[in-house]
Structure 1
Amino acid sequence: MTILKTASAALIATVVATGAFAQDGANIFVIGGKADDPFWSIVKKGAEDAGQIVEAQGGSVTWLGPQNYDNLGPDAADLIRTAIAQDADAIVGPNWVPEAMDEAFQAVTEAGIPLILYNAGGIEAADRLGAMNYVGSDDYLAGKAAGEYFADHGVTNVTCVNTLPGAANLQAQCKGLIDGATGKGGTAQELPLPMSSFGNPTAVAQAVKGHLLESPEVAGLYTIGNVDANSASIAIMQAGAGDRVKLGGFNLDQTILDNIKAGTQLFAIDQQGYLQGFLSVAILNNYVNYGLTVPTRQILTGPGIIDAANVDATLAGVAAGVR
């Protein structure tokens, strides 16, 4: 990540010194998560770092996020329409809930506005909606990698804790987990919780604790976000299940990496959110200003597995705010 940031600074200096930028610049709108969501703050940092180049070339990057996740699909669709109404030159967005968001994304491409999907949806959604690229992890493969990792480490009964069950990318992740675990002879299931529980540590911890007490055969928990992983860790302790239940999850932060290092969390799946924000904005900026395109339409930033073998190398990225 440091290499990317250094390269950005060098490019900004060159652009400013030579005056080699479009007269008006590109006004890029980025649809993302809540401002206080730990994962999305990293994605936002990536977009803002790339935005330094955009601003040096006379353009701007505007971040639009929902107030909460209770009505995720319709609220995100409204943000897309807001970007269109504010004369966006290009738009970046996740296809979280296709049935609620596809129409808004189609309005983007029908208006001739360049679009990149990132974080959720995959290349299939990019094809369906006419987006230039998809930048992000493959959620099904992320879940499958997690299910296989659990099985390979002797954890044969796993629950996928889904606090955003209406989001297609997270449904795909839980399906991947189930397929990965069962494909290696294990058992897995999904525990869907109300969307209002996402980001609510108390609600998640109580629900997961209840699940563990009611299902003593469960030997592994997988969460769809780093905040939920920390809640699940507390639930495991409260249920007195530390000896039998191993924890894995999607995304990471300082606490999760410390837990992996200490052995209280088995692994985390990394999707490199910083790169999702950075690359999406950079690609669109170059396209709007210079007509440059990336021939590889699916640009995967994950999944990667962080465990005891590579946790130390990842901690430096967390300190820099990019992991």
Structure 2
Amino acid sequence: MSRFVRWVLVLVVALLVAAGCGGEQQGGGEQTGGEGGLVDRSDIRIVMVTHGPPADPFWTVVKNGAEQAAQDMGIDFEYRSPDAFDVVEIQRNLEAAIASEPDGLAVSVPDADALGPLVRDAVEQGIPVVMLNAGREQWEELDALTYVGQTEFEAGVAAGERMAEAGVNNALCINQQQGVATLDQRCNGFEEGLGGTVKQVAVDGSDPTAARNGIQSALRQNPDANGMLTLGPAGANPALQALEEADVGEDFVFATFDLSPEILRAVRDGRALFAIDQQPFLQGYLPVVFLTNYIQYGVTPVNEVPTGPAFVTRENAEEVIELSRQGIR
């Protein structure tokens, strides 16, 4: 059985369990189904700790997915994230989550050296952990139940190959959040897939004006560049503004990872070649479902669960825009 087929089966089972076992309820902890097993779902509390700032629209969708899963499962749920990407603050959030003794823990691990020991501590204390979005290379050695997310290097390779097909051979890769290993993997994979020249450019994604100015400066300093890849909305939205103000020519190709309303409109209107969708709704939703079923029934996926890359292009952008308005895509 292929990896893709296994993933589809896991997703179908998870969604059937969510629809069939969760019962009808108004919110986490208020449910009529889910009795039986080792515990009742009304007694389950799960905490999710991520590295994504609330202002980043990608992480808003992750949070929406997790909260929807908590409602569907009928469990109590708490979400913790830093105000801005800050490993020390993420450590504090994770320490506080572990100290609260949840029944399950979902966590992104952008820095394995700093956060990995805390994940291991949680597991050793008997708290089941599902990792999401970042930490794919470490989930097994940290004894997490599974990992839900995208294969970042391979996604970068796919992005490079698509842009090469569009004629790009000299590109800028804009990193809006330095220190996040998954973003480095995206740029590195992009360079391999493109097979041309890639200049990695760091900008401050927490400050849209500074990010736009940094991208404008990079365009001036690299006049031979004929393409640009950004790694998320915090880089893509300022990049779209910078490109509108720059004289890059009609043949310049722009594309990005992840989605936002601005990105989707750019894809629909032909100002962006594609956007890579790693399906953040599922990255929030599935860990809560998996943890709930593990705590209640002792069942869990036996391998990681990939959620991307999926490509949004001009052909399907319009339908994705409607789902974006609902906070799902």
TM-score normalised according to structure 2 size: 0.88
Task: Please state whether the residue corresponding to 2:140 is helix, strand or coil.
Answer: helix
- Which residue identity lines up with residue 160 of structure 1 in the other structure? C
1:63 matched residue in structure 2? 79
1:27 matched residue in structure 2? 45
Q: Which has the higher helix share?
A: 1
Q: Quick one: distance in 1 between partners of 2:97 and 2:223?
A: 48
Given that residues 233 and 259 in structure 2 are in contact (C-alpha distance below 8 angstroms), is that contact kept between their aligned partners in structure 1?
Answer: yes
How do 1:97-116 residues align onto structure 2 when only pairs under 5 Å count? Answer: 97-116=111-130
Displacement of 1:219 in angstroms is 0.9
1:170 matched residue in structure 2? 183
1:289 matched residue in structure 2? 296
- Which residue identity lines up with residue 82 of structure 2 in the other structure? P
Number of residue pairs aligned between Structure 1 and Structure 2:
308
Corresponding position: 1:40 with 2:59: yes
Displacement of 1:261 in angstroms is 1.2
- Which residue identity lines up with residue 289 of structure 2 in the other structure? A
Corresponding position: 1:192 with 2:202: yes
Given that residues 25 and 289 in structure 1 are in contact (C-alpha distance below 8 angstroms), is that contact kept between their aligned partners in structure 2?
Answer: no
Q: Quick one: distance in 1 between partners of 2:265 and 2:33?
A: 45
How do 1:182-261 residues align onto structure 2 when only pairs under 5 Å count? Answer: 182=195, 186-193=196-203, 197-261=204-268
1:125 matched residue in structure 2? 138
Displacement of 1:19 in angstroms is 6.4
1:12 matched residue in structure 2? 22
**Residues 151 and 26 from structure 1, CA distance in 2 versus in 1: closer, same or farther, beyond 3 angstroms?**
same
1:49 matched residue in structure 2? 68
- 1:311 paired residue among 303, 313, 317: 317
Q: Quick one: distance in 2 between partners of 1:146 and 1:128?
A: 29
Q: Quick one: distance in 1 between partners of 2:19 and 2:33?
A: 14
**Residues 7 and 103 from structure 1, CA distance in 2 versus in 1: closer, same or farther, beyond 3 angstroms?**
closer
Question: What is the aligned-residue identity percentage?
Answer: 31
Displacement of 1:66 in angstroms is 0.5
Displacement of 1:245 in angstroms is 2.4
Q: Quick one: distance in 2 between partners of 1:274 and 1:105?
A: 23
When the two chains are superposed, the root-mean-square deviation of aligned CA atoms in Å is: 2.1
Displacement of 1:5 in angstroms is 8.3
**Residues 26 and 151 from structure 1, CA distance in 2 versus in 1: closer, same or farther, beyond 3 angstroms?**
same
Q: Quick one: distance in 2 between partners of 1:19 and 1:177?
A: 44
Structure 2 residue runs of 5 or longer lacking an equivalent are: 1-11, 26-30
**Residues 37 and 19 from structure 1, CA distance in 2 versus in 1: closer, same or farther, beyond 3 angstroms?**
closer
1:270 matched residue in structure 2? 277
1:78 matched residue in structure 2? 92
Given that residues 143 and 180 in structure 1 are in contact (C-alpha distance below 8 angstroms), is that contact kept between their aligned partners in structure 2?
Answer: yes
Stretches of 4+ aligned residues off by more than 4 angstroms:
3-10, 14-19
Task: Please state whether the residue corresponding to 1:166 is helix, strand or coil.
Answer: coil
Given that residues 143 and 175 in structure 1 are in contact (C-alpha distance below 8 angstroms), is that contact kept between their aligned partners in structure 2?
Answer: yes
2:104 matched residue in structure 1? 90
Given that residues 236 and 245 in structure 1 are in contact (C-alpha distance below 8 angstroms), is that contact kept between their aligned partners in structure 2?
Answer: no
**Residues 38 and 6 from structure 1, CA distance in 2 versus in 1: closer, same or farther, beyond 3 angstroms?**
farther
Displacement of 1:177 in angstroms is 0.7
Q: Quick one: distance in 1 between partners of 2:235 and 2:82?
A: 19
- Give deviations 1:118-156, integer Å, cap 9, x for gaps: 01121x211121111010111111111111111011111
- Give deviations 1:266-295, integer Å, cap 9, x for gaps: 111110000011001000011011112123
Q: Quick one: distance in 2 between partners of 1:53 and 1:212?
A: 47
- Give deviations 1:172-202, integer Å, cap 9, x for gaps: 11111111111xxx22121123xxx113211
